[in-house]
Amino acid sequence: MGLELGIIKIKDVQFGEETVIKDGTLYVNKEELIALALQDDRLSAADVELARPGEKVRIIPVKDVIEPRVKVSGSGEIFPGVVGKMGTVGSGRTNVLRGTALATVGQIVGFQEGFIDMTGPGAQYSPFSEINIVALILHPIDRLAPHAHEEAVRLAGLRVAAYLGKAGKDIAPDELEVYELSPVSDTTLPRVAYVYTLLSEGLLHDTYLYGADAKKLLPTLVHPNEVMDGAIVSGNCVSACDKHTTYHHLNNPVIKELYRRHGKDLNFIGVVTSNLNVTLADKERSSEYASKLVKLIGAEGAIVTEEGFGNPDTDLMMLCKKIEEYGIRTVLITDEYAGRDGGSQSLADAVPQADAVVSVGNANEVITLPAMKRIIGDLKPAEVIAGGFVGSVTAGGGLNIEIQGIMGATCQLGFGKLTARGY
């Protein structure tokens, strides 16, 4: 099951008569995108705005960020079982519009969305400040129930991102990346698995595997290439800093790094997905099942990533303990909630087996950000999003806010370069 990613480098986004890629610029026809979004009659209005790296722009509140991709060959379609046709993905060729993404904007919950600063001190905390953003601003019809609102926005974002991806179908890529888990002849290379936990705590906290709600799934095996074609999509709004956006899933850095070293100093044997549910019984069941799968596939070591914080820390610790009890060594990736002074206990749970932990930073760090010349969306929600507080919006439109509110600031897939050290 080999997959070729054809990387099309997008250096700019502009509005145009047609949605097309010319000389590295993605042109988008605004009306087309709006019409596509409004195919769902639960949405009353939509708009599109563009933001580029370095511009004095703040996008808020952001729900999801999605990288446009398209299947050129191989079975299935991007985001299979959701907006794409169902079919096993992860083989053949997929073209990727690298350097751009669709962001869904508009307030759903008011305390779970986040923001992106395209320049200034806040920019370095989000990978999205470095790419060209097509912001899709969506408004629901009156009195739309929260479940329906979330779904409408989620599907519109994926639908429009898939449409943008199609613009890359016949474009000759700038680079080709080949992903093949070729058999490893050197048996001394350690067999490493990746345990990929997906948040599944209910409304606005869900994730989907081939369109199936992760909270209803037992842990299962996934080929890493399937993830690259959008088999996993985000339906959650958990704190902006540590929710995995669909962009993060598509570009999972643990998968990327394990592939990079496959056959060189390790044998990447596979990916086990598991969920993060709200009852103790479910946490026990999933951690038992996932650790058993890791054992069954013959892993000697496993990397375990978390999504969210608080009670999911218990899942992370259960997985660590059970996998280690099988004699398989683990490394965990997690962020911390150590309080604004950095002095509080960072995780809600702990096991002595968790002796190898990568920290992607303290989400409670407060940061002061300047006002931006242009706001895409609405600045007011900054005071109610997780990480914000009364007074977060300063006179003049600056922000005094926890990095918890910045999209991707402490992504626990290990996407960024932030860490925390003990003083």
Partner 1 sequence: MAEKKYRVVHYLNQFFAQIGGEAKADIPPFTKEGVVGPGIPLQQALGEEGEIVATVVCGDDYFAENIETAAEKVAESVSPYKPDVFVAGPAFTAGRYGIACGASCAAVGKKLGIPAVTGMYEENPALDLYRKEVYIIPTANSVRGMKEAIPKMASFVRKLGLKQEIGLPQEEGYFPRGIRVNQFVSRTGAERAVDMLLAKLKGEPFQTEYSMPTFERVPPSPAISDLRSATIALVTSGGIVPLGNPDRIEAASASKFAEYNIAGVDNLTPDAYQTCHGGYDPTYANEDPDRVLPLDAMRALEKDGTIGKLYDRYYVTVGNATSVANAQAFGKAIAEKLKAAGVDGVILTST
Partner 2 sequence: MHVATIVPISLTVGANRIVPAVAIPYPLGNPALPEDEEKELRLNLVKKALRALQTEVEKQTVFEK
- Compute the least distance from the CB of residue 341 to partner 1, in Å: 7
Distances (CA, A) of 248 to 66, 153, 337: 8, 18, 21
> Residue 320 catalytic?
no
Closest CA to 133 of 63, 245, 15, 49: 49
Residues 330-349 that bind partner 2 (CB under 8 A): 348-349
Q: Does 353 bind partner 2 (CB under 8 A)?
A: no
Among partner 2, partner 1, none, the one that 258 touches (CB under a kind-dependent 5 to 8 A) is: partner 1
Question: Which residue of 33, 83, 317, 382 would you call a contact of partner 2, by CB under 8 A?
Answer: 317
Q: How far apart are CA 94 and CA 2, in angstroms?
A: 11
Q: Does 209 bind partner 2 (CB under 8 A)?
A: no
Q: Does 202 bind partner 2 (CB under 8 A)?
A: no
Question: Which residue of 25, 124, 311, 419 would you call a contact of partner 2, by CB under 8 A?
Answer: 311
Among partner 1, partner 2, none, the one that 278 touches (CB under a kind-dependent 5 to 8 A) is: partner 2
> In sequence order, which residues have a C-beta less than 8 Å from that of residue 218 and are 6 or more positions away?
285, 286, 289
Among partner 2, partner 1, none, the one that 421 touches (CB under a kind-dependent 5 to 8 A) is: partner 1
Closest CA to 98 of 168, 3, 49, 17: 168
Tokens at 217, concatenated? 């799934």
Among partner 1, partner 2, none, the one that 201 touches (CB under a kind-dependent 5 to 8 A) is: none
> Could you please report the per-residue DSSP string of 330-384?
EEEEEEE---TTS-S-S-S---TT---EEEEEETT-EEEE---SEEEE-SGGGGT
Closest CA to 191 of 295, 266, 260, 293: 266
Give whichever of 1 and 358 is closer to partner 1, judged by the CB atom.
Answer: 358
Residue 47, φ and ψ in degrees, nearest 5 = -145, 165
Among partner 1, partner 2, none, the one that 138 touches (CB under a kind-dependent 5 to 8 A) is: none
Q: How far apart are CA 191 and CA 26, in angstroms?
A: 41
Residues lying near partner 1 in the complex (CB under 8 A)? 124, 190, 192, 253-254, 256-258, 261, 265-266, 300-303, 310, 329-331, 333-334, 336-339, 341-347, 350-352, 354-362, 365, 403, 411-423
Distances (CA, A) of 14 to 69, 129, 326: 18, 17, 54
Q: Does 410 bind partner 2 (CB under 8 A)?
A: no
Helix (H) or strand (E) holding 36: helix 30-37
Question: Which range in 21-29, 118-126, 276-284, 295-303 contacts partner 2 by CB under 8 A?
Answer: 276-284
Residues with active-site annotation: 237
Query: What residue ranges bind partner 2 (CB under 8 A)?
Result: 278-280, 311, 314, 317-318, 348-351
